[in-house]
Amino acid sequence: MKSRVFEIIAAEQARQNSTVELIASENFVSENVMKAVGSCLTNKYSEGYPAQRPSGNRGRFYGGCQYVDELEEYCCHQWQAVFQTDYHVNVQPHSGSSANLAAYMSVLKPGDTILAMSLNNGGHLTHGSPVNFSGKLFHMEFYGVDENGFIDYEDVRRKARECRPQLILAGASAYSRTIDFPAFADAAREAGAYFMVDMAHIAGLVAAGDHPSPFGLADIITTTTHKTLRGTRSGLIFCRPELAKRVDSAVFPGCQGGALQHVIAGKAVTAEEASTEEFREYIHAVVRNCKAMCDEFISMGYKVVTGGTDNHLFLLDLTDTGLTGKAVQDELDRHGITLNKNCVPNESRSPQQTSGVRIGTAAMTTKGYTEQDFIAVARQIDRIIRDMQDMRKE
β-strand pairing of 167-170 with 113-117: parallel
Residue 335 annotated as lining a ligand binding site: no
- Which of 385, 296, 356, 361 has the alpha carbon at shortest distance from 149? 356
Identify the helix (H) or strand (E) that includes residue 140.
strand 139-143
User: Looking at 19, 45, 152, 370, which residue is catalytic?
Assistant: 45
47 labelled catalytic: yes
125 is in an annotated binding site: yes
The residue from 53, 227, 267, 341 that is catalytic is 227
**CA proximity to 102, closest of 111, 91, 113:** 91
Helices marked H in the chain: 4-18, 31-37, 66-82, 96-107, 133-137, 153-163, 181-191, 203-208, 244-249, 261-274, 277-299, 325-334, 362-366, 371-393
Question: Active site includes 45?
Answer: yes
Catalytic residue among 223, 224, 225, 228: 224
Tell me: is residue 266 an annotated ligand-binding position: no
First-to-last alpha carbon distance for the chain, in angstroms, is: 52
**Backbone φ, ψ for residue 351 (5° rounding):** -60, -20
Active site includes 371? no
315 is in an annotated binding site: no
Q: Which of 44, 159, 177, 233 is catalytic?
A: 233
Is-catalytic flag, 31?
no
334 phi/psi in degrees, rounded to 5 = -70, -15
Considering only CA atoms, which of 107, 165, 149 is closest in space to residue 157?
A: 165
* Catalytic position from the list 198, 296, 310, 317: 198
Active site residue 334: no
Is 210 in the active site?
A: no
C-alpha span between 222 and 227 (Å, rounded)? 13
On the question of a cis peptide bond just before residue 54, with omega within 30 degrees of 0, the verdict is no
Task: Mark the binding-site residues, compressed into ranges.
Answer: 119, 123-125
Task: Mark the binding-site residues for (6S)-5,6,7,8-tetrahydrofolate, compressed into ranges.
Answer: 119, 123-125
Residues serving a catalytic function are 45, 47, 198, 224, 227, 233
